[in-house]
Amino acid sequence: MGQLKKSAISWRSIVLILLVPVLFYSCTASRPVIETGVGSVIEPEAKPVVEPEAKPVVEPATDLRIIGEVEPVTLVKSGLTLPARIDTGATTSSLDATEIKRFERDGKKWVRFTVTDRRSGEKKEMECRLSRTVKIKRHGEESLERPVVKVKTLMGEVELVREFSLTDRGEFTYQILIGRNFLQGEFVVDVNRKNVTTPMSEK
């Protein structure tokens, strides 16, 4: 009997020894895994992407009229229409005039001059109040003084009163030179074109 009791005890011990790891494993496996956060990387909250505000497209000014390098210009007071050379490098416009004489009227300075259409030979005498005088320097020669007058002109459908210096332009092809003072705020020049405002024969 004593031997049977010892054998039973030993078997019980063996069973307990075998069951303890199984029970321990089952207990630990059933427990929820709790993350401690140690060593974990916390990503920053993503900020919304703000797109830059679209700027309004500014259209270039389109109110300037396009003209060519040569355009007909009408001297309204005389009725003569002459081909004019457009020169953006010139400050003041110039008009071909002869028989230039200064005189006074009612205590004011005036200028009388003659304009001739070379193509037809038609001559017109004009009188304009003197606006100012410009001095032209010449290399090796005495300076010249040119009278400047305001003349009402018509280019295409645009009527303008602009300053013109008066001089004999007999050595030049075109009787009128249009400078920046005439073009400013009104026209832009396309040097590859001619007679855009009004068709005209230059001969």
For 116-173, write each residue's pLDDT tens digit.
999 999 999 999 999 999 988 777 778 889 999 999 999 999 999 999 999 999 999 9
Pairwise CA distance, residues 107 & 104, whole Å: 6
Position 48 confidence tier, pLDDT thresholds 50, 70, 90: low
The domain locations on the chain are 65-190
Among candidate residues 123, 136, 134, 129, the one with its CA nearest the CA of residue 97: 123
List the single range of 2-6, 71-75, 158-162 with lowest mean pLDDT.
2-6
What mean pLDDT is reported for the chain?
82
Instruction: Provide the CB-side half-sphere exposure for 193 (13 A, CA).
Output: 13
What pLDDT is recorded for position 4? 45
Position 84 confidence tier, pLDDT thresholds 50, 70, 90: very high
Q: What is the CB neighbour count within 10 angstroms for residue 174?
A: 19
**Are 78 and 117 spatial neighbours (Cβ–Cβ below 8 Å)?**
no
Q: Which CATH number fits domain 65-190: 3.40.950.10, 3.40.50.1370, 2.40.70.10, 3.40.50.450?
A: 2.40.70.10
